[in-house]
Amino acid sequence: GSGVLADGRLADLIRRVATFGMVLMKLDLRQESGRHADTLDAITTYLDMGTYSEWDEEKKLDFLTRELKGKRPLVPVSIEVPADVKEVLDTFQIAAELGSDSLGAYVISMASSASDVLAVELLQKDARLAATGELGRACPGGTLRVVPLFETVKDLREAGLVIRKLLSIDWYHEHVIKNHNGHQEVMVGYSDSGKDAGRFTAAWELYKAQEDVVAACNDYGIKVTLFHGRGGSIGRGGGPTYLAIQSQPPGSVM
């Protein structure tokens, strides 16, 4: 008979549980692409394979694809690395132990190439293999979504090419279909593009990049979600949300 409570705080709680479930919100992870390259440098140097970051893009992709198809861990248990590299490896280890039940996407800031995405996929796979071996159990949930964040004007202009290159790699295409229901997420950055080229140019480059990314995913039969890194201020892409949505390229809002 207490309608005030039932229609008020109780109704709010029911709505929250219906919307978010009982697991609260998933956290995204985010790290800069150069930190992943430094980590792979440490690994390839330790294994006497050379210096990863000095290789050209094709050699990087050959190495990453070969290791992704393999069944053994890449990172030796005995490896000693600098503190900043250890931080990256430890983050992947924790992500493997928590899995996609608790974590959402792994966002790569300053992404500029297909190898930036495959590097994260490899470090993620390696950590999951290690966690399964050390903990003696399967990792919870699936692998995290790996989301490239294109920020500078140069990277925005090449975003479509990078996605096409990624999806043309058999391992990656199959991985997206099998583990992410044929769904690729791509993030576009407003603050760095604005600082790089000014707001007007950045807006136009963002527009063209989205068109190209959507076309690339359509060409390979992959669904795409565009994640807009819009902040509060105009310098970070802020402003009225409904105008921002209305101004998106046709076919990019699904």
Strand-pairing partners, residue 229, are 189
Residue 236 per-residue DSSP state: G
**Tell me: the pLDDT tens digits for 151-161?**
999 999 999 99
Residue 101 per-residue DSSP state: G
- The set of residues, in sequence order, having a beta carbon less than 8 Å from that of 107 and lying 6+ positions away, is 28, 29, 30, 31, 147, 149, 187, 227
In this predicted structure, what is the pLDDT of residue 72? 87
Active-site positions?
195
pTM over 0.85, yes/no: yes
In this predicted structure, what is the pLDDT of residue 1? 87
User: 5 versus 62: which is more confidently predicted?
Assistant: 62
- The average confidence (pLDDT) of the chain is 92
Asked if residue 225 has pLDDT above 80, the reply is yes
d(CA 203, CA 222): 25
User: 24 versus 95: which is more confidently predicted?
Assistant: 95
In this predicted structure, what is the pLDDT of residue 239? 82
**Tell me: the pLDDT tens digits for 112-133?**
999 999 999 999 999 999 888 7
In this predicted structure, what is the pLDDT of residue 136? 60
Asked if residue 135 has pLDDT above 70, the reply is no
